Homo-oligomer: A and B are copies of this chain.
Amino acid sequence: MADAVSFKLHLTDKRTKARLGEVSTPHGSFGTPAFMPVGTAATVKAMRPEQVREAGAGIILSNTYHLYLRPGREVVREAGGLHAFMNWDGAVLTDSGGFQVFSLGPLRKISEEGVSFRSHIDGSPHMLTPEKAIEIQNDLGADIIMAFDECAPYPADRAYVEQSMERTGRWLRRCKAAHRDLAEQSLFGIMQGGVHADLRARSAADIVALDLPGYAIGGLSVGEPKPLMYEILDACVGLLPENKPRYLMGVGSPDCLFEGVERGVDMFDCVLPTRVARNGTALTSRGRVNIKNAKHERDFTPLDPACGCYVCRNYSKAYLRHLFKAGEILSSMLLTTHNVTFLLDVMKNIRAALRDGRFLEYKEEFFASFGSF
């Protein structure tokens, strides 16, 4: 039976490990390198789904932990899955819920069987296991589903990271065994191993042996310095198969996108563009714009003169500042639309630059214009 998701590698950059490709899913294809906007609770916050599409997204990410607790897997299943429920006809990837339950701190307890935890909403007790994470994701119906892994914190004892990485491998086998409808949903495995290159190599070998349709790099961007993250990426992206998409989880600041692409990553996700928008920060070609700043009070120019998005075509910084100060919902709507469009435009430009053999030149131009990250 054919996998739901397939990957076509168009080219690899001559001077870097950057790749241009395409991922096909039951809900359309998208070019890689790709950024996936995050729609935690089956909505990319403050955007209508067709606006997410218009911004250039071919795939979004949604969170199993949140949807499992609210509205519940049965509601989404009965709605016909996430696509129908949220009115999004593009591709969807769901995480396994692992990252969120591990972030609950004292509210959760890990064993070989899985993780028991209490809901952050009502304190009710729950248990996630590899089997259950797959079952829930089967109900949610995303095109790409993720293995139930443990994302070890940073910093952490090497011994703990090793043990956790090994357990992630055992859990992946249980996920694979539990997942049956391969033609509808593709299961991606997740490499762990913290900031230890040798553990990363062992993890890679362990999961690649299972011949899954895609692989993710987990456990980075969790507090370690960026140079250390880049060093680990240097060491481990190439350990994943060339003919499968490679997904760096939870990474999406503009500098990290370029650095990840340069090291051979194909897919990214991050709440950054949507979250900072709600806090009044715009990402622009000239760096971050804090819309709260008093200097924008009478600035009737757009957020980013180089941007052609709906927001930059129609609204001034003075108006956006007013909306933010007045606590208006339209503030979040407009800044989110701009930020998501901006990041997706960057990815589009990266793909065009790769096609034209000038990825490094584009990276240099972008960094020079953006200034400090």
Does A314 sit within 8 A of B, measured CB to CB? yes
From the candidates B43, B79, B325, B330, name the one contacting A71 in the complex (CB within 8 A): B325
A291 to B325, CA, bound (A): 29
For chain A, residues 271 to 320, give those with C-beta under 8 angstroms from any C-beta of chain B: 297-298, 300, 314-316, 318-319
Does A85 sit within 8 A of B, measured CB to CB? yes
- A325 → chain B, closest Cβ, in Å? 6
- Closest chain B residue, CB of each to CB of A46: B329
Query: Are B329 and A298 touching (Cβ within 8 A)?
Result: no
Contacts of A330 in B (CB 8 A): 43, 45-48
Does A333 sit within 8 A of B, measured CB to CB? yes
Determine how many copies of this chain the complex contains: 2
Contacts of A333 in B (CB 8 A): 46, 48, 329, 333
For chain A, residues 22 to 51, give those with C-beta under 8 angstroms from any C-beta of chain B: 41-43, 45-48
A130 to B334, CA, bound (A): 36
From the candidates B70, B297, B318, B322, name the one contacting A322 in the complex (CB within 8 A): B70
Does A249 sit within 8 A of B, measured CB to CB? no
Does A349 sit within 8 A of B, measured CB to CB? no
From the candidates B66, B75, B85, B329, name the one contacting A329 in the complex (CB within 8 A): B329
Query: Are A314 and B43 touching (Cβ within 8 A)?
Result: no
Query: Are B300 and A78 touching (Cβ within 8 A)?
Result: yes
Does A332 sit within 8 A of B, measured CB to CB? yes
- Closest chain B residue, CB of each to CB of A278: B329
For chain A, residues 330 to 370, give those with C-beta under 8 angstroms from any C-beta of chain B: 330, 332-333
Does A9 sit within 8 A of B, measured CB to CB? no
- Closest chain B residue, CB of each to CB of A87: B314
- A295 → chain B, closest Cβ, in Å? 13
Query: Are A325 and B70 touching (Cβ within 8 A)?
Result: yes
Does A270 sit within 8 A of B, measured CB to CB? no
Query: Are A328 and B86 touching (Cβ within 8 A)?
Result: no
Interface string of A201-217 (1 = CB under 8 A from B): 00000000000000000
Contacts of A74 in B (CB 8 A): 298
- A119 → chain B, closest Cβ, in Å? 13
Interface string of A101-144 (1 = CB under 8 A from B): 00000000000000000000000000000000000000000000
From the candidates B45, B85, B87, B318, name the one contacting A328 in the complex (CB within 8 A): B45
A66 to B323, CA, bound (A): 12
- A156 → chain B, closest Cβ, in Å? 32
- Closest chain B residue, CB of each to CB of A310: B48
A328 to B38, CA, bound (A): 13
Contacts of A314 in B (CB 8 A): 87
Does A2 sit within 8 A of B, measured CB to CB? no
Most chain B C-beta atoms within 10 Å of own C-beta, residue among A41, A42, A322, A332: A322
A158 to B153, CA, bound (A): 72
Interface string of A150-162 (1 = CB under 8 A from B): 0000000000000
Query: Are A75 and B41 touching (Cβ within 8 A)?
Result: no
Contacts of A1 in B (CB 8 A): none
From the candidates B43, B316, B332, name the one contacting A79 in the complex (CB within 8 A): B316
For chain A, residues 60 to 101, give those with C-beta under 8 angstroms from any C-beta of chain B: 66, 70-71, 74-75, 78-79, 85-87
Other 7 A-B pairs with CB < 8 A, given A87-B319, A329-B332: A43-B328, A45-B329, A46-B330, A66-B326, A71-B318, A74-B298, A85-B319
Provide a sorted-by-A list of 13 A–B residue pairs whose CB atoms are within 8 angstroms: A41-B323, A42-B319, A43-B328, A45-B329, A70-B325, A71-B297, A71-B326, A74-B298, A75-B297, A79-B300, A85-B322, A87-B314, A329-B332
6 tightest A-B contacts by CB? A71-B322, A46-B329, A41-B326, A43-B330, A87-B314, A43-B328
